[in-house]
Structure 1
Amino acid sequence: MEVAPTAASKAVTSVYNEVKEYYGKTLKNKSDLKSNACVPSAKPVPAYVRKVIAGIHPDVVAKYYGCGLVVPECLEGFRVLDLGCGSGRDCYMLSQLVGEKGHVTGIDMTEDQLEVAQKYVDYHMQRFGYKKPNVNFVCGYIEALAEAGLEEKSYDIIISNCVVNLSPDKTSVLREAYRVLKDGGELYFSDVYSDARIPEDLKANTVLWGECLSGALWWEDLTRLAEEVGFCKPRLVTASIITVGNKELEKLLGDYKFVSATYRLFKLPKGSEKRSCLVMYNGDITGSEESFEFDAQFTFKVDKVMEVDGDVASLLSNSRFAEEFTFQPQEVNTSASGGCWAKPKAVSRNPFELVQQLGSASVTASTGGCCAGQESC
């Protein structure tokens, strides 16, 4: 059994123990949750993802408490880490997507959950037709990945599904994630966020914390903490409003509002150049053969030229997506095409505002210039 990090205070240790008790003993399955924080993804689940989830053992799925869908694209052959893997549902889902040459590691501090995950390793490897396991599970704290034996720059992608909010030390979670990611790597995660900072008296409520509510970050603090650690500015993928659905808990929370949101955080090599350019998606990513939705602002259609700013150009060209695009300096293409290329959507960085925009026609992609309404471009 792993012990809590030595620097942890008694209060932090208490949070660990309460979360372990809540997710290991109190909750037997998803129906035992007292709120609606673990809501379905705001995005439709792609057919290829539904197919791989269908291959996961029912006992593993029954103890899944995620608040979104964490399936980053372009996974074949890569190394993935799941922070707070629980019963292993997402690990087994990603096991099929990285393939036999890829690998997935799940880490969790709740031994009861890990027992379920580890119990079905052989079952899933046989079902997937793999000669040897491409999944392993580690007992440890997501704030202390080094103590759990996870090496620096050892993963291409990190995912997390409704877990960071349960941590009493979110800065350490992000710092450790940054440390174990390779240059160009990505933290792709779904979590619960609040519209303001939650006061200490609500954070002390065991049920509110265990239900992923009182431990939620104010969404603006995520941007600040991520950049302090070294990540690029977070890219908001999607969001959906959380309705608590429990009158007693709603009364305790008062006017605080919550949203489930998915973000992409990239670790770029030091000194990466940031220049706006034109890009064209080649359509080779599994499940995104016609178009690739990078985030709420940028959706790339196959063989269509699109203008991207310096930040996005740097993310695409320095990550695993580099081979999926053709890049061209914007000034090179200007005279030849007369500026005929797609533009990104105009969306808010505020996940609460994004929810409203997602339901509005105003978020429709703007193509601008001569491309407006013309398929020929």
Structure 2
Amino acid sequence: MQGYTHKSMDAAPLKMQGYNETKDAVKEYYSKHLKTSDDLLTNACCTGAAPPDHIKAALKKIHPEVISKYYGCGLCLPEHIEGLSILDLGCGAGRDVYIASQLVGAQGRVVGVDMTPEQLDVANAHKLYHEEKFGFANVEFKLGFIERVPRRDLHEGPVINLSPDKEAVLSEAYRLLKPGGELYFSDVYSDRRVPKALQEDSVLWGECISGALYWNDFHNLAKKCGFLDPRLTKDSVITVDNKKLEGKLESHCEDYGQAVIYKGTIPLCQDVFVLDSHHSIEKGKVFPVCGNTWRMLHDTRFKQHFDFLGSFDTHFGIYGGCGTLIPYACAQSGGTAGCSSC
């Protein structure tokens, strides 16, 4: 369906009168209608890009029934997560949980939360199988709604599309994260707001179309909920990386004359580290960055892998290569300060 290809969320959150009815309809769709991924009626909830080799290797160790009941549109795990704690909101039958289990290793942990008992029954039925395959046990599954999750300090990967209350999901995700924690997700987005007729179609809700958000509404809602600088990492399978940095991020990319140098020490990223869709940072090269990007690297687990140049002592205005340029025509055409005609 044209216009519904990747990921988004909603600044005017969708709070329908039939909120509970929508959740019940989605729950029934995933528990009763869908038996395997072959039962999907559209390609919205399908992964398009081939996974990298280390993910392919992890997939080979996952039970076939778990694989067959995967309805996601892309894995959204960042690099360098060994030993971390991961919370997968909307984990389904647990495919991505069991991938993350291998990547965080024996010292990490992964908790999957889903509202569908039938999906969790599959996930739990194969816990012992995966423990024997991996050589350790670090996985737990819980029944619940992603709008209300017990407090944990974790890195998250939620399915927001299927919730009728996107703002509640994003606010809950922000509450759960500790400073420096990250929210990654891959989902379906639209290039315009979904018409009301589609919003009321229960089948299209289950197919991840009716719940898709207009990308700009998502961007604004994410900021409203505390994620001040959402980033797009890929546009084939969308992973938005929102970091909770205790309010330190600015609403726009500001220039402080800063730069970073990547040391090449992150596993699987020895030559180039990709932070997002326009930050591919080569090893050993001075890479100019805005203040927000500097903090995203300096104030998180990535700090040890970079050298940091500059400070916040001098502000040079909007960062032209990353942020929104000043909108007035006189400035864009190279005019001097003092233009006040609007």
Q: TM-score, normalised by structure 2?
A: 0.83
Aligned match for 1:181, one of 153, 177, 180:
177
**Gap change, CA 1:70 and 1:271, over 3 Å in 2:** closer
Structure 2 match to 1:151: 151
For the 8 Å contact 1:297–1:345, the answer to whether it is kept is no
Whole-angstrom CA distance in 2 between matches of 1:113 and 1:331: 49
Aligned match for 1:39, one of 41, 46, 51:
46
Structure 2 match to 1:302: 283
Whole-angstrom CA distance in 1 between matches of 2:320 and 2:112: 35
Structure 2 match to 1:323: 304
Alpha-carbon offset, residue 330 of structure 1: 7.5
Whole-angstrom CA distance in 1 between matches of 2:42 and 2:323: 29
Where structure 2 has 5 or more consecutive residues not aligned to the other structure, the ranges are 1-14, 314-318, 325-342
Whole-angstrom CA distance in 2 between matches of 1:51 and 1:71: 15
1:204-283 mapped onto 2 (5 Å cutoff): 204-240=200-236, 261-271=238-248, 275-283=256-264
Whole-angstrom CA distance in 2 between matches of 1:218 and 1:268: 26
The structure, 1 or 2, with the larger RCO (C-alpha pairs under 8 Å, 6+ apart) is: 2
Alpha-carbon offset, residue 232 of structure 1: 2.2
Whole-angstrom CA distance in 2 between matches of 1:197 and 1:221: 8
Whole-angstrom CA distance in 2 between matches of 1:270 and 1:228: 12
Percent identity, aligned pairs only, is 45
Residue 138 of structure 1 aligns with an amino acid whose one-letter code is K
Poorly superposed stretches of 4+, deviation over 3 Å: 270-276, 343-348
Whole-angstrom CA distance in 1 between matches of 2:321 and 2:204: 36
For the 8 Å contact 1:186–1:265, the answer to whether it is kept is yes
Residue 58 of structure 1 aligns with an amino acid whose one-letter code is P
For the 8 Å contact 1:308–1:344, the answer to whether it is kept is no
Aligned match for 1:193, one of 182, 189, 196:
189
Alpha-carbon offset, residue 328 of structure 1: 1.1
**Gap change, CA 1:300 and 1:199, over 3 Å in 2:** same
Alpha-carbon offset, residue 331 of structure 1: 11
Alpha-carbon offset, residue 40 of structure 1: 2.2
3-state SS of 2:146 partner: coil
Structure 2 match to 1:287: 268
**Alignment: residue pair count:** 301
Whole-angstrom CA distance in 2 between matches of 1:229 and 1:64: 29
Q: Are residues 1:120 and 2:126 paired? A: yes
Please identify which structure carries the higher strand content.
1
Q: TM-score, normalised by structure 1?
A: 0.75
Per-residue CA deviation, residues 48-105 of structure 1 (Å, 9 max, x unaligned), is 1111111111110100011122121110111110010000000000001111011100
Where structure 1 has 5 or more consecutive residues not aligned to the other structure, the ranges are 1-7, 241-259, 333-342, 349-377
**Gap change, CA 1:329 and 1:347, over 3 Å in 2:** closer
**CA RMSD for the aligned pairs?**
2.3
